[in-house]
A and B are shown apart, each in its own frame.
Chain A
Amino acid sequence: MKLSAYLDGIGMIGPGLDSWIAARPILAGSTPYEARPIAVPAPQSLPLAERRRAGTVVKVALAAGYEAVTAGRLDARQLAAVFSSSGADGDNCDALCKTLASEDRHLSPTRFHNSVHNAPAGYWGIATGAMTPATVLCAYDGSFAAGLLEALTQVVVEGTGTLLLAYDAAYPDPLRAKRPIPSAFGIALALMPARSAQSLARIEAGPTDDTPGTLAEPGLEALRRVIPAARGLPLLQALAQACNGRVVLEYLAPLSLAVEIEACR
């Protein structure tokens, strides 16, 4: 069973990959990849109070989401949204656990509401005004593929444009030792039911037993292996190369997700 959609916008943010526009020549192989810490912009679209409260994971999700929506000349208020993350806000989780392990267990209300896995979806709604359905998923290392599958299912079954936002953030120590995600990372894909002037490609995905693909560039492959959201990089590399092809993404091993790409221009 395969599910298809048109890809109208891409957003991306990661270490050494400031945006999809900046990352495209790197992924296409025409510009070398240079590893450096991620630069996360403050989400200007959020009201000041929410901007202050938003953690890294929210900023990464919003940065990628806005880039995809803008590139596709889309209105976020018309799109359903699928958020997918392995762990959401690691800094906030660490702070809560430290307080709860201390003599004084009183928590800050902001820390508590930021602890929900769907905090980025809540901030996205406040920032964009989107009252459309938003779901928030986790499938550990398979979170990117699980999110893509759910987003495509929504496009096909509901017939609505759906924005996939897949992102992760690092845990600080001591959780980092147990879940070593080295950096925040985000990918957003605007998936539409019909072809438009903005359509970059038609993609078609379905489960497969094939082994997930890897990236030839060692720095990028290192990201793919350690950051769940970066498991989507083989798809973005194929899109950067703008040619037809097929990639296999890690999902729930031994089950993988195959994505066939047909360029629109």
Chain B
Amino acid sequence: MPCRFETVRDLDTYIGEVAGLDEFKLPGPLAEYDCRNNRLALLGLYQDGFMAAVEAAIGRHGRRRVAVLLGTSTSGILQTEQAYRQRDPVSGALPDDFNYRTTHNTYSVADFVRRVFKLEGPAVVVSTACSSSAKVFAAAARMIAAGLVDAAVVGGVDSLCLTTLYGFNSLELLSPSPCRPFDAGRNGISVGEAAAFILLERPAGSLDADDVLLLGAGESSDAHHMSSPHPEGLGARKAMRAALSAAGLQCDDIDYINLHGTATPGNDAAEGRAVAALFGDRVPCSSTKGATGHTLGAAGGLEAIISALVLQQSFLPGGINTRHVDPGIPVQYLTGNREGAPRRVLSNAFGFGGTNCSLILGKAE
């Protein structure tokens, strides 16, 4: 939708705004955590029987043995942005009811989710811009492998705020129309917001055919620039290769790639080069950000869920809004859904500061 978020009237761009958050209230005992980000988090937890699944995991493993590892980039900073508008005209002080710890602080959402489930084990927020909620899978898998915990609530929550809208505007990266990843005429991102939660658990002895496995995660750094990717996608290539190696797989074992695909000219070109260098044009790929917008710190988790749906529902999603696939990017980009029986899917998430993470999910068989 055209951007009419909060008091923003001067940005010519489209956003993916979750409806009803302004009216959604946190229940009494959680009220001190009230901010847009934690409201979105709770709304996310309420979906798809997720809370019951976590309670069942707690029943199996205990409150100490279920970790909370979540990604966010801006947490509840909207609360601080609004508090700055209400500074005391004389002293400059922020309003009394502003609570930094439970809203703005980067850890707030993991603290909140830990509180929702009365968990008592390890918890942390990973905040590496737009790779945040992909990297939590790697961290959680390590904690489970090390024997620290038996399960983890992972994923990410990022919500609309002025910092990101005006920030991406300052970099001239906001698209004036719904974003068109990998289109020859792509012209920037559409900022979105999302809560994405996944319960990650050490595989049980017997698996259902519908179960989805985290087969591998790969992480790397560009060591190149704060806000532009390495032009040849060197860091991206390293992350994808590390994920393949962690999963013990070859390039030809991947059936679909969910691209980071933000729809900025530079990001898509760099990612396309990296994908082409490893996979050629043999693997169907698409970015789902045309449908969701770029949900920043929640994107890795959101796209891991889309990747899981791809495996469970046996189809390859076409990227929407893209009309003319950039002929300069030699990958097999899907603009329409395709039937198939993908068994292994790779999902990319890259971010500011040159941070890269690739996940490989597979069907239990």
- Asked whether, in the complex, the Cβ of A174 is within 8 Å of the Cβ of B162, the reply is no
Is B142's CB under 8 angstroms from A153's CB?
yes
Q: Tell me which residues from 345 to 360 in chain B have a Cβ below 8 Å from any Cβ of chain A.
A: 351-355
A150 x B121 contact (CB < 8 A) = no
| Min CB gap A134→B, angstroms | 5
Are B100's CB and A3's CB within 8 A? no
Contact B94 A177 (CB under 8 A): yes
CB closest chain-A residue, reference B225: A126
**Judging by beta carbons under 8 Å apart, are A150 and B139 in contact?**
yes
A130 to B226, alpha carbons, bound, how many Å?
14
Our pick among A86, A109, A135, A153 for the contact of B135 (Cβ within 8 Å) is A135
Say whether, besides A116-B353, A133-B220, A122 and B238 are in contact (CB < 8 Å).
no
The answer to whether the Cβ of B148 comes within 8 Å of any Cβ in the partner chain is yes
- State how many angstroms separate the Cβ of B142 from the closest Cβ of chain A: 4
A78 to chain B, nearest CB (A): 13
Is A16 engaged at the interface, CB distance under 8 Å to the other chain?
Answer: no
A113 CB to closest chain B CB, in angstroms? 4
Contact call A122/B226, Cβ cutoff below 8 A: yes
Residues of A contacting B225 with CB < 8 Å? 126
Q: Is A183 close to B, CB under 8 A?
A: no
Closest chain B residue to A123, Cβ basis: B226
Asked if A131 contacts B235 (CB within 8 A), the reply is yes
- Does A108 belong to the interface (CB within 8 Å)? yes
Chain B residue at smallest Cβ distance from A127: B223
Q: How far is the CB of B295 from chain A (nearest CB, A)?
A: 15
- Asked whether, in the complex, the Cβ of A136 is within 8 Å of the Cβ of B123, the reply is no
* CB contact under 8 A between A1 and B170, given known A130-B223, A177-B93: no
Is A33 located at the chain interface by the 8 A CB criterion?
Answer: no
Tell me the smallest distance from the CB of A234 to a CB of chain B, in Å: 20
A116 touches B73 (CB 8 A): yes
Decide if A140 touches B81 in the complex (CB within 8 Å). Answer: no
Whether the Cβ atoms of B223 and A138 lie closer than 8 Å is: no
Stretch from A94-102, A186-194, A215-223, A241-249 contacting the other chain: A94-102
Sort chain A's interface into a size bin. Answer: 35 or more
A197 close to B (CB within 8 Å): no
Residue B57 at the chain A interface, CB threshold 8 Å: no
A5-62 contacts to B (CB < 8 Å): 50, 53
User: Is B34 in the interface zone, CB < 8 Å from A?
Assistant: no
The answer to whether residues A157 and B145 also contact, given A100-B162, A132-B221 and a CB cut-off of 8 A, is yes
A151 to chain B: closest CB distance in Å?
11
Would you call the interface of chain B mostly helix, strand, loop, or mixed?
mixed
Q: Mark B126-168, 1 if CB is under 8 A from A, else 0.
A: 1111000001001100110111100000000000001100111
Closest to B80 in A: A97
CB of B226 within 8 A of CB of A126, answer: yes
A1 and B128 within 8 A (CB): no
Residue contact B107 to A140, C-beta cutoff 8 Å:
yes
B residues less than 8 Å from A112 (CB atoms):
163, 166-168, 170-171, 227
Q: Is the CB of A178 within 8 A of B94?
A: yes
Interface residue? B314 (CB, 8 A): no
Contact A108 B170 (CB under 8 A): yes
A116-B130 Cα distance, complex, nearest whole Å: 10
CB atoms of B220 and A131 under 8 A apart: yes
> Is there an interface contact between B163 and A115, defined as CB atoms closer than 8 Å?
yes
Q: For the complex, is B58 an interface residue (Cβ under 8 Å from A)? A: no
- For A117, give the chain B residue with the smallest CB separation: B127
Given that A139-B123, A149-B122, A175-B80 are contacting pairs, would A125 and B142 also be in contact in the complex, using a CB cutoff of 8 Å?
A: no
Q: Does chain B have a CB within 8 A of A240?
A: no
Residue ID in chain A nearest B131 by CB atoms: A118
Interface pair B101/A255, CB less than 8 Å apart: no
**Is A213 at the interface (CB under 8 A from chain B)?**
no
Candidates A136, A140, A157, A158; contact of B111 at CB < 8 Å: A140
Is B105's beta carbon under 8 Å from chain A?
Answer: yes
Contact, CB under 8 Å: A101 / B87: yes
Contact B171 A174 (CB under 8 A): no
Cβ B238 vs Cβ A131 within 8 A: yes
- Interface residue? A119 (CB, 8 A): yes
Interface mask (A235-260 → B, CB under 8 Å = 1, otherwise 0): 00000000000000000101100000
Do B220 and A135 touch (CB < 8 A)?
A: no
Closest to B120 in A: A255
Task: Looking at the assembled complex, report how far the CB atom of B38 sits from the nearest CB atom of chain A, in whole angstroms.
Answer: 14
A196 at the interface (CB under 8 A from B): no
Contact of B166 among A105, A131, A179, A207 (CB under 8 A): A105
Complex Cα gap A245–B345 (Å): 47
B128/A106 in contact, CB under 8 A: no
Other-chain residue from A150, A156, A174 in contact with B94 (beta carbon distance below 8 A): A174
CA distance A150 to B122 in the complex (A): 10
Asked if B127 and A116 sit within 8 Å, CB to CB, the answer is: yes
| A146: interface (CB < 8 Å) | yes
A119, B92: Cβ atoms under 8 Å? no
CA distance A129 to B223 in the complex (A): 5
Interface residue from A98, A107, A111 paired with B84 (Cβ < 8 Å):
A98
Q: How far is the CB of B332 from chain A (nearest CB, A)?
A: 27
Chain B residue contacts of A96, Cβ below 8 A: 163, 167
Which A residues lie within 8 Å of B224 (CB)?
A: 125-126
Given A101-B84, A134-B221, A138-B105, 9 additional A-B pairs, CB 8 A: A112-B163, A112-B171, A116-B127, A117-B73, A118-B351, A122-B226, A126-B223, A139-B125, A143-B107
Report 29 cross-chain contacts, Cβ distance below 8 Å, ordered by A residue. Answer: A1-B146, A53-B226, A97-B80, A97-B81, A100-B163, A101-B85, A109-B167, A112-B168, A112-B171, A114-B226, A116-B73, A116-B129, A117-B128, A118-B128, A119-B226, A131-B220, A131-B235, A133-B219, A133-B242, A139-B125, A140-B101, A140-B105, A153-B148, A157-B145, A173-B92, A174-B84, A174-B94, A178-B94, A252-B122
Q: Which 9 A-B pairs have the closest CB atoms?
A: A122-B353, A112-B167, A133-B219, A117-B127, A125-B223, A138-B106, A101-B84, A178-B100, A97-B84
